[in-house]
Structures are given as C-alpha cells and as structure tokens.
C-alpha cells in the first residue's frame, strides 16, 4: 500500500507542477512579461518532458516485467533496481513466481531422473491441436529400441512401425496386450504393452509402458527362488539347530570320566531326538526330489468321468469319516489325453486340501464340475470352507509352504507342476465362504 501511495504522490506532484506552470505562463502572458513568460514556458516544457519519460519508463518497466512473467522468463535480476521502491510488490510477485518455477524445474528433473532409471520402456505423448507429439521418452525406451529422442510422432513411426500402427489402429485408446517388436534389427522380442489416456488442465496425454516378457519372467523366477530359499532355509534350520545343540551336549557328556544314570538317559533321549530330526530331514529332501525330478507324463486316453470316479472312490472312506457331502456335477463325458496316475495325484491332492479346509465347518460340501470351451477343458473343485487368507494367496504354490502342522507343503506345488507338464495350468479363486481350484487342460 505504501508503494502505491508513493507512486500516486509522485505522479500527483508532477501533474500539479505542470498545472501550476501553465497557470503562471498564462498569468505572465496577460501581464505582458515576455521574457519571464518565455523562461517559465521553457521550465514547464521541461517538466512535461520529465513527466512523459516518467510515465513511459513506468509503463515500460511494468510491461517488460509482465511479459517476462507471461513468457516464463525469470532470468532478470532486479537487485540493481532496489532503489525503485514503487515496484516492491511487483518485485515480490516476480520473485515468488521465479521460486515456484525453479521448484517445478527441480521436480521435473527428479521425475525425469526417476523415469530414466526405470527398466521399463516409457513413452508419454501429448496432444497438440489434432496431432500427437512426444512429451517424454525415457532412456530405457530410447536405448533398448535404438530410437533417438524425437519429438514428432511421424519420426517415431519410422523407427517403431509395429508399435505405432497398433496404437493408431486403436485410436490412441487404452490398450493391454502383448506385442512383438524387432530389436537391434535382428531379434524379435515379445513385450507386454499397457497404455492409458488422461486429460489434465485441458491437455491430453497418452502413456505407454513396455515390459519385456523375458524380464518379467526372470523377475518372477528370481522372486520364486528367493521365497523358496527362505522356506528351505527355515526348514533346514528347524532341524539342524536342535541337532547341533544336542550333539554339543553329547560331546560334553562323553568328556566325563563317569556317567550317571541320568546322563545315560540324556544321551538316550538326545540320540532319539537326533534320529527323529534326521528322518524329518530325509523326508524333506525326498519331497524336494519329487518336485525337482518329476517324470514326464506318460499320456494315454481316458474318460473324464472314469478319472474323477476313481479319485472319488479312493477318497470316499475319508469323506465318509469327516461327514463331507460330495456333489459330482460333471454332466458330460469326454476322452482326455493325460497321464492317469499323475492326474489322479492332482485331484487327490486338491480333494485332500478341500477336506482339511472343511474341518471346522458345519456345512461340509465339495462340488466337482467341468466345462468345455475354446478347445480347453476346465475342471473345478469347490469347497465351502473359510477360503484362503489374502496374506498367503501368493504363497500357496510355494514348495514346503503349508498352514497344517502335519502337512509337507508340496501337494499344491506338485499338482501345479504336473498340470503345467500337461500343457495346462492350475488356478484358484477364494472368498470367505468358498475356495475353487481350477485345472485347465488344452485338448
């Protein structure tokens, strides 16, 4: 407010001097004082010129500063204009906007640095009028596909025709698919492509993410190995720790010259415990060997109903003992090409899991159903148990992972490996009231 009053005061004084000057000029002219008239007129003329330049400089300075702000040009330094007290608020606005721009530039640099260090191809397009231009292309995208960081869509089209044609054919809409792209002018690799379209501040953007399937598989394999090593390490330590402790205790006992009856009993108990833990370790290794050395399926034709009835007949005494109702809803029959022994093992494992899931339930029911579509056979085993907790859903196929004290933790892993060896897959769905495992076989 003070700067505004200062401006108004200075402008008012100048205008007042001009008006007084004109009044004096007319007075001297009326009095016939010619020389005084000329002198005062010259003074008034100089005051008018000074007023003109004052207003011109004021408007020019404001105009220059506003233009700099509009053009995002914050390179000017107003430290030499500190004496211009009238422009303090303007300087304050300028410096605030300059700080915000510097902050935004810093954030942009950080964001681009993050995107450039991600091992996923990232391409962001920006719509200008009716055309798309390249807003950002990260380093991985540029280096992996050997594409220069161009800014025009048609330049990118010359280097990655298959990708650009796919995006154009979908009219720049959201896409999630696999795509084969030739890399290094030699190798054709398969990529998982995901794209999305968004609008912010009346500006449209199109984001494309490309992940190499090979890298995705390698990442999943690495995660699986890490989880497997955790389980194996846990299991081994559970047996080796007590064995080591007992062996150390035995070593101390045999160092004694005389052994009491109590010492002999300790030795006997220790040997029995070590024997039991050794047996457990042997069973653990045997289980691992079953997984690692799964024989190739010896396929032969067998009727679906025959296969399922054989499994239900084997499990019938256990179901009767646990008062579990079995509903076989398979209402069609087909010949399938599988290894009967291995596939029976799969169904028995799944039925056994369902049986244990129903232990604490009043309504104990297992349903078997099947459907055929798109040259695939889907066999479903559904129970009315409590479902699988979300915290362990990603672990149930891990070797040796189990929630049962007496479980070995290889049933589902072995079943999954068998089904995959047949060219199919094993999947599941779960909620609070039921769990469904699906065996998918390709015909």
Which sequence spans correspond to the domains of the chain?
2-87, 118-213, 217-292, 300-442
Q: What is the model's pTM?
A: 0.43
Cα-based angle 142, 146, 150 (whole degrees, multiple of 5): 55
The whole-angstrom separation of Cα 119 and Cα 117 is 6
Q: Say which residue, 126 or 79, is predicted with more confidence.
A: 126
Residue given tokens 């292309």 in the structure block: 137
What's the mean pLDDT in 237-243?
70
Helix then strand then coil, % of the chain, to nearest 5? 55, 20, 25
The architecture in CATH of the region 118-213 reads 2-Layer Sandwich (3.30)
Pairing of strands 435-442, 376-383: antiparallel
Least confident of 178-192, 256-270, 297-311: 178-192
The whole-angstrom separation of Cα 386 and Cα 363 is 11
Selected from 3.30.565.10, 3.30.43.10, 3.40.50.720, 3.30.530.20, the CATH number assigned to the domain covering 300-442 reads 3.30.565.10
Region of residue 209 (left: phi > 0; alpha: psi -120 to 50; beta: else): beta
Task: Tell whether the model's pLDDT for residue 100 goes beyond 90.
Answer: no
Structural tokens at position 57:
């400089």
Instruction: Give me the pLDDT at residue 4, please.
Output: 46
Instruction: Give me the pLDDT at residue 382, please.
Output: 92
Which of 184-198, 206-220, 230-244, 292-306: highest mean pLDDT? 292-306
SS3 of 56-115: the string is: HHHHHHHHHHHHHHHCCCCCCCCHHHCCCHHHHHHHHHHHHHHHHHHHHHHHHHHHHHHH
Instruction: Give me the pLDDT at residue 2, please.
Output: 40
What's the mean pLDDT in 173-202?
77
Reported as a single tens digit per residue, the pLDDT across 17-53 is 777 877 777 777 777 777 777 777 777 778 777 777 7
Structural tokens at position 205:
């953007």
What's the mean pLDDT in 138-167?
87
Instruction: Give me the pLDDT at residue 275, please.
Output: 76
217-292 folds as Helix Hairpins (1.10.287)
Task: Tell whether the model's pLDDT for residue 1 goes beyond 50.
Answer: no
Q: Which of 94, 85, 63 is nearest to 4 (CA)?
A: 85
Question: What is residue 229's three-state secondary structure?
Answer: helix
Least confident of 6-15, 94-103, 301-310: 6-15
Least confident of 97-111, 185-199, 208-222, 337-351: 208-222
CB-based burial of residue 361 (10 Å sphere; 0-12 exposed, 13-18 middle, 19+ buried)? middle
């Amino acid at each position: 407010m003070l700067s505004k009053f200062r401006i108004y005061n200075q402008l008012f004084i100048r205008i007042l001097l001009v008006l007084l000057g004109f009044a004096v000029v007319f007075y001297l002219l009326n009095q016939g004082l010619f020389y005084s008239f000329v002198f005062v007129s010259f003074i008034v003329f100089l005051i008018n010129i000074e007023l003109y330049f004052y207003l011109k400089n004021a408007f020019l300075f404001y105009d220059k500063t506003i233009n700099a702000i509009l053009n995002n040009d914050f390179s000017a330094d107003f430290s030499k204009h500190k004496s211009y007290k009238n422009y303090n608020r303007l300087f304050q606005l300028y410096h605030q906007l300059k700080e915000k721009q510097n902050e935004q530039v810093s954030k942009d640099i950080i964001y681009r640095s993050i995107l450039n260090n991600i091992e996923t191809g990232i391409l962001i397009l920006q719509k200008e009028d009716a055309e798309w231009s390249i807003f950002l292309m990260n380093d991985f995208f540029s280096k992996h596909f050997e594409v220069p960081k161009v800014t025009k869509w048609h330049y990118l089209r010359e280097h990655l025709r298959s990708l650009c044609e796919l995006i154009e054919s979908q009219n720049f809409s959201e896409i999630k698919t696999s795509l084969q792209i030739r890399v290094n002018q030699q190798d054709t690799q398969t990529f998982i492509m995901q794209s999305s379209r968004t609008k912010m501040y009346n500006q449209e953007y199109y984001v494309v993410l490309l992940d190499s399937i090979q890298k995705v598989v390698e990442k999943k394999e690495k995660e699986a190995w890490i989880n497997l090593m955790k389980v194996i390490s846990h299991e081994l330590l559970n047996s080796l720790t007590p064995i080591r402790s007992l062996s150390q205790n035995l070593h101390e006992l045999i160092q004694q010259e005389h052994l009491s009856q109590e010492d002999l009993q300790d030795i006997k108990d220790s040997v029995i415990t070590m024997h039991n833990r050794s047996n457990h370790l042997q069973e653990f290794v045997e289980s691992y060997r079953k997984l690692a050395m799964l024989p190739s399926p010896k396929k032969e034709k067998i009727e679906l109903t025959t296969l399922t009835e054989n499994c239900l007949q084997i499990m019938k005494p256990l179901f009767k003992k646990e008062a579990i109702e079995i509903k076989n809803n398979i209402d069609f029959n087909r010949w399938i090409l599988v290894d009967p022994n291995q596939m029976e093992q799969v169904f028995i494992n799944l039925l056994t899991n369902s049986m244990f899931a129903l232990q604490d339930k009043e309504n104990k029911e297992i349903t078997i159903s099947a459907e055929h579509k798109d040259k695939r056979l889907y066999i479903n085993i559904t129970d009315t148990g409590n479902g699988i907790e979300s915290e362990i859903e990603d672990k149930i196929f891990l070797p040796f992972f189990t929630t049962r004290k007496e479980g070995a933790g290889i049933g589902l892993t072995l079943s999954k490996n068998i089904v995959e060896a047949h060219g199919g897959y094993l999947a599941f769905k779960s909620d609070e009231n039921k769990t469904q495992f699906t065996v998918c076989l390709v015909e």
